[in-house]
Amino acid sequence: MKSGKGKFLYTLHFSLYTKIPCGGFFLLMRNFIICAVIKMQKIFFSALVLIFALTFGSVEAAEINYGASKIYNQTEMNAAIKIIKKQFGKWKGCKLHNVRYAGDDANNAENLKWLNDLRPQENFSQCIEFFSDFYVSPNTNTTFNPESEYKNWQWWLARSEGGKWQLVTFGY
């Protein structure tokens, strides 16, 4: 503060110094503005968190049903489910409800031939199918219908003996 005829408070405003009388009302207004700016920052950052959450598909809360398999153990299924979740996570505004093992019957010669035909450069010897249900929000950038539930969405993965699962195709 500067003393003289009147008391003045020097503040930096748009890179210019201006004199503001240092009365109670002006201090009250200054404090009010500071509080308002802090609240606006909190709202802004909360909105950013919400936008970020809607930017990618939600997979964390998905229920997993491994079913009963005589071919694959839970570790092998988890490796396949991890790939499904990674793909699903790219879908903005979608929420994965569940992933279900389709059963051992899907690992048959006909399905293996089909998956090998889709990827002629591969030589798959095993395949696995999962189903999933999910919701598409109105804030999606996918080709899915907004505000829709999708049931029994198919996920087909295949691998060579001892190899890693590859997502070959998905859909209805």
Looking at the DSSP bridge assignments, the partners of residue 11 are: 18
Q: What's CA 172's distance to the chain center, in Å? A: 22
**48: confidence class by pLDDT, cuts 50, 70, 90:** very low
Is 77:54 a contact under the CB 8 Å cutoff? Answer: no
CA separation, residue 56 to residues 3, 44, 51, 131, 141 (Å): 58, 19, 9, 20, 10
Averaged pLDDT, 124-150: 93
Encode pLDDT of 55-105 as tens digits.
Answer: 446 777 789 999 999 999 999 999 999 999 999 989 888 999 999 999 999
Of 53, 8, 12, residue with least CA distance to 26: 8
Give this prediction's pTM: 0.67
Residue 24, pLDDT score? 64
